[in-house]
Amino acid sequence: KERTFIAVKPDGVQRGLVSDIIKRFEQRGYKLVGLKLLVPSKELANEHYADLSSKPFFRGLVDYMTNGKAPVIGMVWEGPSVIKQGRVMLGATDPRAAGPGTIRGDYCLSIGRNICHGSDSAESAEKEIGLWFGGKGEI
Ligand code: ATP
């Protein structure tokens, strides 16, 4: 069974968009198999975004995710092609390119405040679920 990691970032939580994002995945027919609210540690955010560590926005991104002004909602969703379709439902990383009907296309315009995250491959889904939900068997 295919699983992906979807997160509502602090801006999405602060803006009250959690229920809408969950509703979209439920309506599509996907199954929620893990959910937690947390302020991620720096260690967790650094590891989550390890691929971006050389980017100029990396420190700002990690600070934003971890400063505690609002928490993150981490979720695991399960179902057919959920990794690819989850990304389609979120819309383009840069909201200026995200189509209407997608989460980013409906709610935001700034790449630094793009509301949500979704795993981009089977490998990253496995890594991210392990990272955010801990050891084997927790979910
Ligand atoms: P995500 O992993 O959040 O779903 P993504 O995999 O589509 O996004 P990445 O290129 O991995 O895109 O970027 C991860 C996150 O880093 C983006 O969602 C965004 O919040 C932030 N980011 C990317 N590019 C920029 C930028 N130029 N300025 C500020 N933040 C950025």
What ipTM was reported for this prediction? 0.93
Note whether 5 and 132 are within 8 A (CB). yes
Ligand 1 binding residues, C-beta < 6 A: 52, 57, 61, 93, 111-112, 114, 117-118, 120
Q: Tokens at residue 118, please?
A: 């979704």
78: CA distance to ligand 1 center in Å?
23
Q: Give the position, in ligand 1's atom list, of the atom nearest the Cα of 114.
A: 20
Per-residue pLDDT of the chain (139 residues; tens, 9 = 90+): 999 999 999 999 999 999 999 999 999 999 999 999 999 999 999 999 999 999 999 999 999 999 999 999 999 999 999 999 999 999 999 999 999 999 999 999 999 999 999 999 999 999 999 999 986 556 6
The span from the first CA to the last CA of the chain, in angstroms, equals 13
Burial class (CB in 10 A: 0-12, 13-18, 19+), 126: middle
What CA–CA distance (Å, rounded) separates 63 from 85? 29
Residues with catalytic roles:
117
pTM of the model: 0.96
